């Protein structure tokens, strides 16, 4: 069986989750579900990043012990994953013993290969990003220096172990060249290339001014730099350092989904650490864009961070999942506006898809005694209608393989609109008296089309599409992509339809 390994970033537990975190994991979930539908054995990993200065400080601010604090905040990410319907196979926490063991094993391997040396770090550090910056990257306002992310930086001076990153510069450039799909989208790839070409310096990979981290083996005055610790999670979960582990077959990861803020860590440091330990690098890193809220940056100080749980409560889970991936091209920045969610829900889900299903299934109830008409021949008009539908699974598969979620939804809904055109022109309600045979054929064709839409939309809207497939009479073991090749037998009894989506009143 083909394997697929997909990951989300592991999220910092300094604060509770918001819509940005839900977004990255949602995209990963949709691809994981699609691959399973396509017969792959999937390993989908998510989790929380619990060490480092930023989390330690958040625990102090909350007046809590860091472990108790991370236990609590990590749980809120787990709750989010459950409420968003994510289908992850593992939820990793970096404070778990398995992860500490993997980090220490990787460290010792790098040390053994002379990829690490002890030195002294002096430079700029942003706790908010947990990142080191060169002076040339900073801007100064009112006497404070800021990183490009907007995070303030502070001068750090402490003994530190270094990773020989500079040594891997040429290897990295060669790797990017040979693997043009490693970094997507192209704009991000170009940024990384120019950063690496401008020259890499060795990377500080331990800290001594605080203790909340994985202790460096044989030198416990140092804790590992949180990004070395965090990135290692992707191999911890696959069983590292045990290459005989059951899950090691999933490595290298097929796609690491990340936001554009953390591209450098995933596409420079991570493949370099792995190459230095002679571990295969991941196949692809996709960096999506940034959500703003009603035109404003989401921030703690503005207090406008959107709680996904409240949105689920307000609009329902599947309309939210649909909207997030439909509204904005995956890779671009986007704005979260409630009016846009309402418009997509009402126009595309309730009107185009919901009404099509309801009209078709109601006619089958009323005019065909609730039984699915037999498989029928296609005439020329039907052939034209089905050309697009027959190609849909392959087209959607190609678009999802390129992480083009919005385009996948666009082609599916173009096909749904074509079916609305077909039902209007064929007017099966009028055929009842004039040509009952053709009426049955048209309804059967519409049913077949709906089965395709529901099947390919399952990864995006699992609950609602399960309900639609129930209404279409598709047995649970016939919901894979491959099952589309086998038509349902004519005469299958269909339950009376009920509405799939509700229209949302726009706020005035």
Binding interface with ligand ME8 (CB under 6 A) = 9-12, 20-21, 23-24, 49, 230-231, 233, 258-259, 261-262, 290-291, 298
CB of 116 to ligand ME8, least distance (A): 19
Q: Is 457 helix (H, G, I), strand (E, B) or coil?
A: helix
User: How far is the CA of 238 from the CAs of 6, 45, 234, 248, in angstroms?
Assistant: 11, 9, 7, 5
Q: Rank residues 338 and 417 by Cβ distance to ligand ME8 and give the closer one.
A: 338
Q: Rank residues 101 and 298 by Cβ distance to ligand ME8 and give the closer one.
A: 298
Q: Distance (Å, rounded) from C-alpha 248 to C-alpha 255?
A: 16
Kindly report whether the peptide bond that precedes residue 185 is cis, defined as omega within 30 degrees of 0: yes
- The answer to whether 416 and 352 have CB atoms below 8 angstroms apart is yes
Name the packing angle between helices 317-327 and 308-315 (round to 10°): 110
- In the bound state, the residue with its beta carbon closest to ligand ME8 is 20
Q: Is 133 helix (H, G, I), strand (E, B) or coil?
A: strand
Q: Rank residues 9 and 462 by Cβ distance to ligand ME8 and give the closer one.
A: 9
CB of 231 to ligand ME8, least distance (A): 5
**For the residues of 150-211, what is the DSSP string, one character each?**
S-B-EEEEEEEEEE-GGGGHHHHHHHHHH-TTSEESHHHHHHHHHHHHT----EE-EE-S--
Q: Distance (Å, rounded) from C-alpha 125 to C-alpha 137?
A: 12
Q: Rank residues 49 and 382 by Cβ distance to ligand ME8 and give the closer one.
A: 49
CB of 122 to ligand ME8, least distance (A): 25
Q: Rank residues 288 and 444 by Cβ distance to ligand ME8 and give the closer one.
A: 288
CB of 236 to ligand ME8, least distance (A): 11
Q: Rank residues 54 and 359 by Cβ distance to ligand ME8 and give the closer one.
A: 54
Q: Distance (Å, rounded) from C-alpha 147 to C-alpha 124?
A: 9
Q: Rank residues 127 and 481 by Cβ distance to ligand ME8 and give the closer one.
A: 127
Q: Distance (Å, rounded) from C-alpha 505 to C-alpha 339?
A: 10
User: How far is the CA of 497 from the CAs of 30, 360, 367, 500, 501, in angstroms?
Assistant: 26, 9, 14, 9, 12
Residues in the chain: 508
CB of 152 to ligand ME8, least distance (A): 16
Q: Rank residues 305 and 466 by Cβ distance to ligand ME8 and give the closer one.
A: 305
Closest to 315 measured CA to CA, from 298, 333, 338: 338
CB of 290 to ligand ME8, least distance (A): 4
Q: Rank residues 76 and 365 by Cβ distance to ligand ME8 and give the closer one.
A: 76
CB of 137 to ligand ME8, least distance (A): 18
CB of 274 to ligand ME8, least distance (A): 13
Q: Kindly compute the dihedral angle of the four CA atoms of residues 198, 200, 201, 207, in this order, to the nearest 10 degrees.
A: 120
CB of 271 to ligand ME8, least distance (A): 13
Q: Distance (Å, rounded) from C-alpha 477 to C-alpha 64?
A: 49
User: How far is the CA of 218 from the CAs of 215, 223, 234, 299, 458, in angstroms?
Assistant: 8, 11, 24, 40, 50
């Amino acid at each position: 069986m083909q394997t697929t390994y997909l990951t989300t970033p592991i999220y910092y537990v300094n604060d509770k989750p918001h819509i940005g975190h839900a977004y990255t994991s949602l995209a990963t979930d949709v691809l994981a579900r699609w691959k399973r539908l396509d017969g792959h054995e999937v390993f989908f990993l998510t989790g929380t990043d619990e060490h480092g200065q930023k989390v330690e400080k958040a625990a102090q601010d909350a007046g809590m012990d860091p472990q108790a604090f991370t236990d609590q905040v990590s749980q809120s990410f787990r709750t989010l994953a459950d409420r968003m319907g994510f289908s992850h196979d593992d939820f990793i926490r970096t404070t778990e013993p398995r992860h500490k063991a993997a980090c220490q094993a990787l460290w010792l391997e790098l040390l053994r290969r002379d990829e690490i040396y002890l030195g002294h770090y002096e430079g700029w550090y942003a706790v908010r990003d947990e990142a080191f910056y060169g002076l040339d990257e900073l801007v100064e306002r009112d006497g404070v220096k800021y990183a490009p992310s907007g995070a303030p930086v502070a001068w750090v001076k402490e003994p530190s172990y270094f990773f020989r990153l500079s040594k891997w510069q040429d290897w990295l450039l060669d790797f990017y060249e040979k693997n043009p799909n490693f970094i997507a989208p192209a704009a991000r790839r170009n940024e990384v290339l120019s950063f690496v070409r401008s020259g890499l310096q060795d990377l500080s990979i331990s800290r001594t001014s605080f203790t909340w981290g994985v202790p460096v083996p044989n030198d416990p005055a140092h804790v590992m730099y949180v990004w070395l610790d965090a990135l290692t999670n992707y191999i911890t979960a696959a069983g590292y350092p045990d290459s005989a582990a059951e899950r090691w077959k999933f490595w290298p990861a097929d796609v690491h989904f990340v936001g554009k803020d953390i591209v450098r860590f995933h596409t420079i440091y991570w493949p370099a650490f792995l190459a230095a330990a002679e571990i295969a690098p991941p196949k692809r890193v996709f960096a999506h864009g940034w959500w703003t809220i009603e035109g404003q940056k989401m921030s703690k100080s503005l207090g406008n961070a959107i709680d996904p749980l409240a949105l689920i409560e307000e609009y329902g889970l599947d309309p939210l999942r649909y909207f997030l991936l439909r509204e904005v091209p995956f890779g671009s920045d986007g704005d979260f506006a409630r009016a846009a969610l309402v418009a997509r829900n009402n126009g595309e889900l309730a009107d185009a898809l919901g009404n099509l299903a309801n009209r078709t299934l109601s006619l089958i109830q009323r005019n065909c005694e609730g039984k699915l008409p037999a498989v029928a021949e296609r005439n020329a008009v039907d052939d034209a209608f089905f050309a697009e539908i027959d190609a849909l699974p392959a087209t959607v598969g190609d678009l999802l393989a390129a992480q083009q979620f919005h385009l996948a939804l666009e082609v599916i809904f173009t096909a749904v609109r074509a079916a609305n055109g077909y039902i209007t022109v064929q007017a099966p309600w009028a055929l009842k008296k004039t040509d009952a045979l053709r009426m049955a054929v048209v309804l059967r064709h519409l049913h077949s089309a709906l089965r395709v839409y529901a099947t390919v939309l399952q990864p995006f809207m699992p609950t609602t599409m399960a309900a639609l497939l129930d209404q279409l009479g598709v047995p649970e073991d016939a919901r894979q992509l491959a099952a589309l090749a086998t038509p349902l037998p004519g005469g299958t009894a269909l339950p009376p339809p009920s509405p799939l989506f509700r229209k949302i009143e726009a706020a005035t």
